[in-house]
Amino acid sequence: MKINKDKLIELLVDKTNMEKVEVEEQLQQLIQRIIDAAERGKALEIKEFGLFYFDENGDLTFDPSKELSTEINFKYAGMEPVELKPPRDSASDDAVAAPDEKEEPTPKTAKPAQESKPESDTDEDDEELDDIFGLDDMDEDDEEVTAGEPEEEPVSKRPFETPADKVDREDDPFSGLLGDASSKLSASEKGFKEEPSDSDDDEVPPSPSIKDSKKDSDAEEPAGKSTKKVPEKSSPKTPAKSSPKVPAKVETDPAVKAKKTAKPKTPSKPRRDPVMVVISVVLVFVLVAAAFFVIPGFLEETEQVEAPVETPAEEPLPPTEADATNVLEPVEPDEEITVEEEQVEEPAPEETEQARYGLMGELVDDANDGFSIVLHSFRQEDVARQQAAQLASDGYRVLVSGRTVQGQTAWRVSVGQFPTIAEAQERAGDLPSPYNTDNFIQRIQTN
Amino acid sequence: MREQILNKNRVEIEDLGIFEVVHRKQHQKKYENGRVVMIPPADVVEFQSKVRSSNEN
């Protein structure tokens, strides 16, 4: 809507109950004062409105006051720039958009990766290392850019901590991007040697099979990482990770196999020695029978879990037997068996749960360390809650967060929980028409 | 005038200039040193002057 001088005078007349002539005179005086002051080389400031002055080109310039800017920008109040890429990496990386995706996930792995470069020799590992170095820088920078975000890191750490021994490693990874550099740095200083484990943990909790199936966008990196993680982690302490020093290449291959073939046990058996094959077949039969008659749902779980574990170690004699013997006969590798059993049991409950991050479904508390797509911003909480309920009824993960700026609170309604800004941007395009273009992304804030 | 600007209306005053609220989308800014920063969206007031300094000439 356009407001010209006449319209403005009318509005002023209505509002002040003054004579039109009087308003005109006053407005003209105001304009004249502004110009006179500016021409004298002085700036005229109108309180809570702005500053008028002539710039070096001789044009009248207006700088809105802080109050006016804040009120106009109320919808986005409190949003601060977020550093996506640190200075070092930028020189090597060409594209701006592409690196964003990688960098955000990398922060998780960054610190551990620095110290533990040696384990994986593959190209992917090199990329991760690069990302990792970049991440460290980012962390420091992030601290400078966004002061209030450090608190979020601990949140990301919590979910992973509960599972098992991996707590410390997981802390570093994802939250690193925007969160406190201090916390990350401290984690890195601790000396975790496993790069992929951190990042993997954040994205994909314990079970690799779940990760692979769920994440399409991050397919390249996460898939590789997930496979790698399984073997690496098993070696240290946690159940999910079996063989630590298996080469990365070998690990990646099994992961692909696991995805393609739902039942990997049968194909892997023929490769083994005849004696072992016979034993394993017998054990498998016994296991299957027991599973069918004793625990109905147990068979499916074991197959799914065993698949990734067996494939990674292609010199598989011990692992397969171990799997079979785990349930029935604890003969040779007792330790490995126990570890594998734990793996089998852990992933099962998580499979039933929804993905940690996503656009649809129920809110996941553990995912509050990520980003969300803001669709609405209201001054009244009731209206925001109403809108949130409507979005929730459509199946979205809806968050309502309030931010107080100069005594006024903006209630933002956002949807989805995403680990990275890039992923949030990508999913924002999938939203229905007004939302796919009219939105912005913010770090999730839980008040 | 302030009220109209806050309502995102375009205010044109012949003797002075045009006040307009412009929305700037969220974008990425790349610095020379390689830093890439995500700039959040913002609504800002833009002023187009119709007055030039008489001292200029």
Query: Cα(A71)–Cα(A387) distance, rounded to whole angstroms?
Result: 22
Place of tokens 């990997």: A264
Domain containing B16 — which CATH number? 4.10.520.10
For residue B22, is it within any domain?
A: yes
Q: With an 8 Å Cβ cutoff, are B35 and A64 in contact?
A: no
Burial of A19 (0-12, 13-18, 19+ CB in 10 A): exposed
Give this prediction's pTM. 0.36
Q: What pLDDT, on a 0 to 100 scale, did the predictor assign at position A159?
A: 36
In chain A, which residues have their Cβ closer than 8 Å to the Cβ of B44? Answer: 64, 69, 72-73
pLDDT digits (tens, 9 = 90+) for A29-55: 888 888 888 878 888 888 888 888 888
Say if residue A18 is in the same domain as residue A114: no
Q: With an 8 Å Cβ cutoff, are A84 and B28 in contact?
A: yes
Say if residue A103 is in the same domain as residue A190: yes
Instruction: Categorise residue A357: left if φ over 0, alpha if ψ from -120 to 50, beta otherwise.
Output: beta
* Structure-block tokens of residue A7: 């319209």
The boundaries of the domain holding residue B9 are 2-49
Type and span of the H or E element at A281: helix A274-293
In chain A, which residues have their Cβ closer than 8 Å to the Cβ of B8? Answer: 72
Question: Considering A162, A185, A203, which residue would you say is the last residue of a domain?
Answer: A203
For residue B56, is it within any domain?
A: no
Say if residue A272 is in the same domain as residue A371: no
Q: How far is CA A264 from the centre of its chain?
A: 32
For residue A215, is it within any domain?
A: no
For residue B57, is it within any domain?
A: no
Average pLDDT, chain A: 60
Domain count across chain B: 1
Say if residue A53 is in the same domain as residue A94: no
Place of tokens 């929980």: A417
Strand B17-24 vs strand B10-13: parallel, antiparallel, or unpaired?
A: antiparallel
Angle at B12 between CA B7 and CA B13, to 5 degrees: 125
Strand A2-3 vs strand B10-13: parallel, antiparallel, or unpaired?
A: parallel
Q: Is B16:A31 a contact under the CB 8 Å cutoff?
A: yes
Q: What pLDDT, on a 0 to 100 scale, did the predictor assign at position A328?
A: 43
Q: What pLDDT, on a 0 to 100 scale, did the predictor assign at position A271?
A: 55
| ipTM of the complex model | 0.86
Q: What pLDDT, on a 0 to 100 scale, did the predictor assign at position A296?
A: 61
For residue A82, is it within any domain?
A: no
For residue A239, is it within any domain?
A: no
Say if residue A93 is in the same domain as residue A57: no
The boundaries of the domain holding residue A387 are 365-443
Q: What pLDDT, on a 0 to 100 scale, did the predictor assign at position A207?
A: 38
- Percent helix, strand, coil in chain B, to 5, is 10, 50, 40
Say if residue A12 is in the same domain as residue A109: no
* Sequence letter at residue A251: E
Type and span of the H or E element at A208: helix A208-214
* CB nearest A60 (choices: B28, B36, B49): B49
In chain B, which residues have their Cβ closer than 8 Å to the Cβ of A68? Answer: 2, 5-6, 45
Q: What pLDDT, on a 0 to 100 scale, did the predictor assign at position A447?
A: 61
Question: Considering A330, A352, A374, which residue would you say is the last residue of a domain?
Answer: A352
Domain count across chain A: 4
Q: With an 8 Å Cβ cutoff, are B41 and A72 in contact?
A: no
* Residues in chain A with pLDDT values less than 50: 89-270, 299, 302, 305-351
Alpha-carbon dihedral A158, A160, A164, A167, rounded to 10 degrees: -70
* CB nearest B35 (choices: A34, A61, A85): A85
Nearest residue to A158 (alpha-carbon basis) of A102, A111, A201: A201
DSSP single-letter state for residue A358? B
Q: What pLDDT, on a 0 to 100 scale, did the predictor assign at position A353?
A: 62
